C-alpha cells in the first residue's frame, strides 16, 4: 500500500505545482500581424521580378553591361574603313544595272 500512497503523493505534488501558473500573454500586436498576413495577397511573378531588377546592385550591373556593349560596338564600327560604304553602293548599282548620272552627264546630254 505504500506504493499507492507514494503515487498519490507524487500526483498531489504535481497538481500543487500548477497552482502558481498564469495564462500566457501574447506579444503586442500578435493578432494584428496574424490578420495582416492572412489578408495579404501573394505577389505575382512580375512584381517579384521587378522587385529583383529594382535592386541597386542588379540595376548597376545592367548599366555597366550596357555601357560595355555600347563601347564595344562603337569602337568596332569606328575601326572599319569609310570606303566600305562607297564600295557597297557601287556593288548594289552594278548588280541592278543602275547607272549613276552626275551633273556633268546631264550637261553633256543637253
What is the per-residue pLDDT across 51-67, written as a single tens digit (0 to 9) for each?
Answer: 898 999 999 999 999 99
What's the distance, CA 76 to chain centroid? 30
Structural domain total, the chain: 1
Residue 4 lies in a domain: no
Residue 84's pLDDT is 66
CA atoms within 13 A on the CB side of 36: 5
Full domain range(s) for residue 75: 30-96
Rounded Cα–Cα distance for residues 21 and 96 (Å)? 101
Residue 89 lies in a domain: yes
Residue 80 lies in a domain: yes
Residue 1 lies in a domain: no
Residue 19's pLDDT is 78
Residue 7 lies in a domain: no
Q: How many CB atoms lie within 10 A of CB 97?
A: 6
SS (H, E, C) the chain: CHHHHHHHHHHHHHHHHHHHCCCCCCCCCHHHHHHHHHHCCCCCHHHHHHHHHCCHHHHHHHHHHHHHHHHHHHHHHHCCCCHHHHHHHHHHHHHCCCCCCCHHHHHHHC
Residue 107 lies in a domain: no
Name the stretches of the chain with pLDDT < 50.
none
Placement of cell 498576413 in the chain: 37
Residue 110 lies in a domain: no
Residue 20's pLDDT is 77
Residue 52 lies in a domain: yes
Amino acid at each position: 500500500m505504500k506504493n499507492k500512497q507514494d503515487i498519490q503523493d507524487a500526483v498531489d505534488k504535481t497538481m500543487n505545482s500548477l497552482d502558481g501558473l498564469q495564462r500566457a500573454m501574447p506579444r503586442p500586436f500578435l493578432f494584428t500581424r496574424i490578420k495582416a498576413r492572412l489578408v495579404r495577397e501573394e505577389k505575382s511573378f512580375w512584381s517579384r521580378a521587378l522587385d529583383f531588377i529594382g535592386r541597386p546592385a542588379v540595376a548597376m550591373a545592367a548599366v555597366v553591361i550596357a555601357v560595355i556593349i555600347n563601347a564595344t560596338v562603337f569602337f568596332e564600327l569606328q575601326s572599319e574603313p569609310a570606303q566600305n560604304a562607297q564600295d557597297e553602293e557601287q556593288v548594289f548599282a552594278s548588280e541592278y544595272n543602275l547607272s549613276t548620272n552626275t551633273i556633268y552627264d546631264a550637261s553633256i546630254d543637253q
